[in-house]
Amino acid sequence: MALEMNIVDRDVTATTEAGARSQTAFAPGDVIANFVGGAEVVPAEGRVLPVTNPATGKRVRDVVLSDADDVDAAVAAARSAQREWAATSLAGRAAVMYDVRDALRRHLDDLAAVVVEENGKTFEDARGEIKRGLESIEYACGLPTNLQGGYSAEVARGVDVHSTREPIGVVGCITPFNFPVMVPLWMLANALACGNAAIVKPSEKDPGPTVMLARILTNAGVPAGVLNVVNGEAAAVNALLAHPGVAGVSFVGSTPIARHVYENGTATGKRVQALGGAKNHMVVTEAADLDAAARAAVGAAYGAGGERCMAVSVLVAVGDEVADGLVGRIRTLADGVSVGPGNEAGVDFGPLITLEHRDRVASYLDAGTEAGAEIVVDGRSHPLYTRDGYFIGPSLVDRVRPEMSVYTDEIFGPVLAVVRVRTLDEAIGLVNDNPYGNGAAIFTRDGREAREFQTSTNIGMIGVNVPIPVPVGWFSFGGWKASLFGDSHMYGDDGVRFFTRQRVVTSRWA
């Protein structure tokens, strides 16, 4: 079956210019270098890490590993370029963002191909994440309006007050493996449009798409040094957090690392937004269309192999009749989900990112069985599970209780846990008791139930008959509780506020 990916899709056609791919994409065996000051830079230490194709388990290229000296060089390049970029007129920066939008459209398929190769997701899913990133670029094209300040005349006799929003300087962007194009664009769109310079530290598991993105943006007109990429592991992250030349850090990843980034970044006086993990619930009541809810649950739980911070990982069924109806429908639909290499036609989701992660996901099925849950669909029975690559099929686990690890932990794989409750109030209590607060959804045809759910749940993003409620690019993305550290959400208005600081001028002219 074709999974419903719940992506706001528009007709964005990629038309690749002659020779464009050879200028930006990677070939097998390449070494992915840092991108600093508009050029490829290989660290002096020369240390590398293999980058593996998750569909084959084979190394396709290497990525360099950076240390504090490499981060320092990137900060120096960014600081040098940022001053002139910030002095560029609003119209001038907006024109560059329009050119960036057009360049990303031209290279959309090229970028998607590298995402498939290094991340493992399907080609259409890769195209979908780039389109969602484009929404943030399009929002940033309106920066003359987004950066408008306020003005009050005659607050006292002969005294006027006005406010402006100005860039904060050099910012660090630390991004996860699961969206190697979309999440950088979430950050970079407003960071660059507002006049900052940026240093991106992508995941070392799939760095190619982010470096390719930097090449495309620089070729489109972003001045050399305004956008830099430093590859590496924890040493590079900690160097960004400690560097006095970095004014702010934006992060998306797991909750333990988000807490580390927030605590260490703010300890050195930086502005930090750190988005962490999730355990997203989808509540289904007796008033729901069970066929529609089952289809939505399959797409939201198994799409992208469950490697999404907004994936539905818990299905909360209100009443045994609802639960039995959903489990039966989902079992049937799961049989039609196609798992395989992301570059093959008709595949619904591909491999997971690493063998270690695949085995960790599989371990929760044993843990659930030992705790008394019922494995309705076992992803380990998929024929690709024992072959090359990091594949596992969709899994459905029924009669899960809140104390089980299959419920408490963020599994980040194609595992859907079913929790049975008696009432909507019990379902809301379950959602609110969970330490995470990223997203939650309710499926119902009863407006009173929908209203109660959206006003009573302690969650940052709510879906009503929408299983993955990721806001469009002119709103903002972010959760509550242990899903967010800091007080700023990602992209949209919150993104503008995070990457700028306000100046207020009070003036009197005699």
Distance CA 496, CA 246 (A): 17
Name which of 126, 175, 30 is nearest 349 in CA terms: 126
Give backbone dihedrals phi and psi of 25, rounded to 5 degrees, phi first: -85, 175
| Residues recorded for the chain | 510
| Annotated catalytic residue within 141, 173, 194, 309 | 309
Distance CA 153, CA 28 (A): 62
Cβ burial 26-49 (10 Å sphere, 16+ → b, else e): beeeeebbbbbbbeebebeeeebb
Which residues, in sequence order, are bridge partners of residue 173? 200, 250
**Are 163 and 496 spatial neighbours (Cβ–Cβ below 8 Å)?**
no
**Are 186 and 136 spatial neighbours (Cβ–Cβ below 8 Å)?**
yes
Name which of 234, 239, 183, 258 is nearest 410 in CA terms: 258
Give backbone dihedrals phi and psi of 101, rounded to 5 degrees, phi first: -55, -50
The yes-or-no answer on residue 194 being catalytic is no
Cβ burial 435-472 (10 Å sphere, 16+ → b, else e): ebbbbbbbbbeeeebbebbeeebebbbbbeebbbbbbe
Distance CA 116, CA 125 (A): 9
Give the sign of the dihedral formed by CA 349, CA 356, CA 130, CA 473.
positive
Q: Tokens 């309705």 belong to which residue? A: 376
Can you read off the two tokens belonging to residue 435?
């330490």
Distance CA 290, CA 350 (A): 27
Q: Residue 485 corresponds to which amino acid?
A: F
Catalytic sites, residue numbers: 309
